[in-house]
C-alpha cells in the first residue's frame, strides 16, 4: 500500500517516494495527483491535478497507512487518513477517513460536480482495493 488506492484509469500520482530508492512514504512528502475525470474510449479527456502533503506515515508490523492534507492548488480542501490492519484472525481491515470540501478557489457552480467525483472515485477505489485483496492467493 504505497499510495495507490484508486485504479490507474482513475488516478495516477508521483511523489517524493517514487524517486527510485524504494522507500515508504514519510511525513513531509508531497504527492502530485492526476485525476482522470472524463474519459473517452478509456483515454483521459480531462485531468484535474491536485497536490497533497503526507502529514503522518504509519509503518507498524501489522498496520500501515498514512494521513495527508491538501495543499493549494487543489480543487478540494481537506484531509484524508487511511489504515490497513492485518488482524490476528487473518482478516484485513481497511479504514478510511476523509473530511473535505471544495476549495474556496473553485467556482461555486462546480462544487456539486466536485462532490460527485469524490464520491464516485472513493467507491471505485474501495472496489479496486477489494479486487486486489481477493485476487491474492495465500
Map residue 16 onto helix, strand or coil.
helix
Q: What is the pLDDT of residue 119?
A: 85
Strand 92-102 versus strand 76-86 pairing type:
antiparallel
User: What's the pLDDT band for 138 if we cut at 50, 70, 90?
Assistant: low
Global pTM reads: 0.79
Across the range 13-18, mean pLDDT stands at 79
Phi and psi for 17 in degrees, rounded to 5?
-75, -5
Task: Name the band, by pLDDT with cuts 50, 70 and 90, for residue 1.
Answer: very low
Asked whether the beta carbons of 120 and 10 are under 8 A apart, the reply is: no
Query: Which residues make beta-bridge pairs with 23?
Result: none
pLDDT band at 61 (very low <50, low <70, confident <90, very high): very high
Q: In the sheet where 92-102 sits, what is the strand order?
A: 11-15, 30-40, 43-60, 63-71, 76-86, 92-102
The pLDDT, as a whole number, for residue 114 is 82
Q: How many CB atoms lie within 10 A of CB 73?
A: 11
Contact 121, 127 (CB under 8 A): no
Residue 119 is placed in which grid cell? 464520491
Amino acid at each position: 500500500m504505497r499510495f495507490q488506492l484508486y485504479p490507474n484509469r482513475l488516478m495516477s500520482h508521483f511523489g517524493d517516494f517514487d524517486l527510485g530508492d524504494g522507500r515508504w512514504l514519510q511525513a513531509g512528502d508531497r504527492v502530485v495527483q492526476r485525476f482522470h475525470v472524463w474519459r473517452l474510449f478509456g483515454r483521459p479527456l480531462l485531468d484535474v491535478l491536485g497536490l497533497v502533503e503526507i502529514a503522518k506515515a504509519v509503518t507498524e508490523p501489522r498496520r500501515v497507512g498514512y494521513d495527508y492534507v491538501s495543499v493549494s492548488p487543489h480543487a478540494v480542501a481537506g484531509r484524508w487518513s487511511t489504515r490497513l490492519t492485518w488482524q490476528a484472525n487473518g482478516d484485513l481491515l481497511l479504514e478510511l477517513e476523509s473530511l473535505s470540501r471544495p476549495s474556496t478557489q473553485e467556482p461555486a457552480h462546480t462544487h456539486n460536480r466536485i462532490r460527485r467525483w469524490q464520491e464516485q472515485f472513493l467507491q471505485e477505489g474501495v472496489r479496486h482495493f477489494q479486487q486486489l485483496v481477493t485476487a491474492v492467493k495465500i
